[in-house]
């Protein structure tokens, strides 16, 4: 989850079941059998640590890896098409909200079927790749959302960051910041999955559940955001902000807070001012569950079941404790196991807040929502847009969303 949060989910959810199988093994130039791996990291070329690891894992398994990197939205659609055409790759790495769609379409094997060891994986991260009580693949890592803050802006406003523990204290801090002549908080409320991704920590942090969008708790989360806009604590631009444009607003140096993700850490270092990070606070305190971003390494269904043993070796290599630190560092993720998380924090103490946020995080398709999630998310982001624009009250907007979701 680097910027967009699962493009094409609604399209994928609308597609019917598929039966997936693979073409026969393809001889490589060396005469050995080639194994195809598709991933959503086209930015990494052959000189990258990621591709070097793929090649190493292939060598350890005694096969040649043929890797193709696709854009996230392209990859999910190509995976469905490949399954229809009997040309599925041997290993598929996809954004976690797509896993349930591919699984329910019959594209993926379960972790149990291929004896993938997921015992050390944090349950909340594993849940993002579960459907119908079964797990499909192994999470390669996770990222999530938290609040970046500008230390100088808060100091000038007389705000002690330690006092920000819940919605009331955060709002009080924003009031002080505005009174001091600075800007409060920026975030992304755009009418796409990105907007839902950013709204979910507040929605879940209220105690609400996605099966009841118009609950008093869910409505209170919309009221929080609309209240911030009305009081000038957040800019009207949030309605059209992506996570990238929201970050650009924060990086200009006038905002006290920005909701954004792990993937902005490198940009934060370049911002030119001292910053800090805190988890998104829950309404009544504690860390709000933020949605997990990140991918699962899965094994698609093959007609030649003899290929599974080697695919299992490839997945195990990519997700092993020995390689996980390299993988998560390269991909800017928090590791899915406590053992590797500890190594990350030891190497970079500033990652502790992100480890804590990931521990509190939640998969968008968790709670056994699976392919129901896209049908809930779109009305939800539409409701947030309607409320922020003033065309509907928070209660009216979420009631309409609940009806549109067909729940």
Tens-place pLDDT, residues 293-332: 999 999 999 999 999 999 999 999 999 998 999 889 888 8
Task: Please give the mean pLDDT across all residues of the chain.
Answer: 90
Mean pLDDT of 248-260: 97
DSSP 3-state assignment of 271?
coil
Whether residue 7 has pLDDT greater than 60:
no
Tally helices (H) and strands (E) across the chain. Answer: 17, 12
Whether residue 10 has pLDDT greater than 80:
no
pLDDT at 22: 35
Comparing 87-96, 129-138, 179-188, 364-373, the range with the smallest average pLDDT is 364-373
* 243 token code pair: 């996570």
pLDDT at 407: 67
Share of the chain above pLDDT 90, in %: 80
pLDDT band of 138, cuts 50, 70, 90 = very high
Whether residue 27 has pLDDT greater than 90:
no
pLDDT at 29: 34
pLDDT band of 4, cuts 50, 70, 90 = very low
Go through the domains of the chain in sequence order and give each one's CATH number.
9-143+292-360 (3.40.190.10), 145-290+369-404 (3.40.190.10)
pLDDT at 64: 95
pLDDT at 17: 37
Mean pLDDT of 62-66: 96
Tabulate helix, strand, coil % of the chain (nearest 5): 50, 15, 35
Nearest-CA neighbor of 260 among 354, 363, 157?
Answer: 354
Number of residues that this document lists for the chain: 407
Nearest-CA neighbor of 136 among 184, 81, 98, 90?
Answer: 98
**Who contacts 78 (Cβ-Cβ below 8 Å, separation ≥6)?**
38, 70
* 316 token code pair: 């195990």
Model pLDDT for residues 270-294, shown as the tens digit of each residue: 999 999 999 999 999 999 999 999 9
Roughly how many angstroms between the first and final C-alpha of the chain, as a whole number?
A: 27
């Amino acid at each position: 989850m680097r910027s967009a949060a699962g493009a094409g989910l609604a399209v994928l959810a609308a597609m019917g079941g598929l039966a997936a199988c693979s073409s026969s093994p393809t001889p490589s130039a060396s005469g050995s059998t080639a194994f195809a791996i598709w991933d959503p990291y086209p930015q990494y070329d052959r000189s990258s640590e990621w591709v070097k690891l793929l090649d190493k894992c292939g060598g350890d398994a005694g096969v040649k890896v043929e890797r193709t990197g696709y854009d996230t939205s392209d990859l999910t659609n190509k995976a469905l098409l490949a399954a229809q055409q009997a040309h599925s790759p041997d290993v598929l790495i996809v954004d976690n909200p797509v896993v349930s769609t591919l699984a329910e379409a019959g594209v993926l094997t379960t972790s149990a079927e291929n004896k993938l060891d997921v015992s050390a994986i944090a349950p909340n991260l594993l849940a993002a790749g579960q459907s119908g009580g079964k797990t499909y693949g192994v999470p390669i890592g996770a990222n999530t959302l938290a609040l970046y803050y500008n230390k100088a802006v808060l100091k000038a406003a007389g705000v002690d960051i330690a006092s920000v523990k819940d919605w009331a204290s955060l709002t009080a801090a924003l009031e002080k910041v505005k009174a001091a002549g600075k800007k409060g908080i920026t975030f992304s409320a755009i009418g796409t999955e990105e907007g839902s991704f950013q709204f979910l920590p507040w929605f879940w942090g209220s105690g609400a559940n996605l099966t009841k969008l118009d609950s008093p708790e869910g409505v209170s989360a919309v009221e929080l955001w609309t209240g911030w806009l009305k009081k000038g604590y957040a800019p009207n631009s949030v309605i059209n902000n992506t996570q990238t444009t929201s970050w650009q607003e924060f990086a200009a140096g006038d905002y006290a807070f920005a909701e954004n993700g792990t993937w902005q850490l490198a940009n934060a270092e370049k911002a030119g001012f001292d910053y800090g990070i805190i988890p998104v606070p829950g309404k009544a305190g504690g860390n709000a569950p933020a949605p997990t971003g990140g991918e699962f390494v899965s094994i698609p269904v093959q007609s030649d079941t003899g290929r599974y043993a080697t695919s299992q070796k490839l997945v195990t290599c990519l997700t092993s404790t020995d390689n996980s630190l390299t993988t998560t560092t390269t991909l800017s993720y928090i590791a899915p196991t406590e053992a590797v998380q500890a190594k990350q924090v030891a190497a970079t103490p500033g990652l502790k807040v992100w480890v804590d946020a990931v521990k509190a995080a939640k998969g968008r398709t968790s709670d056994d929502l699976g392919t129901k999630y896209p049908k809930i998310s779109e009305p939800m982001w539409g409701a947030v847009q309607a409320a922020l624009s003033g065309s509907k009250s928070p209660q009216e907007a979420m009631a309409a969303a609940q009806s549109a979701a067909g729940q």
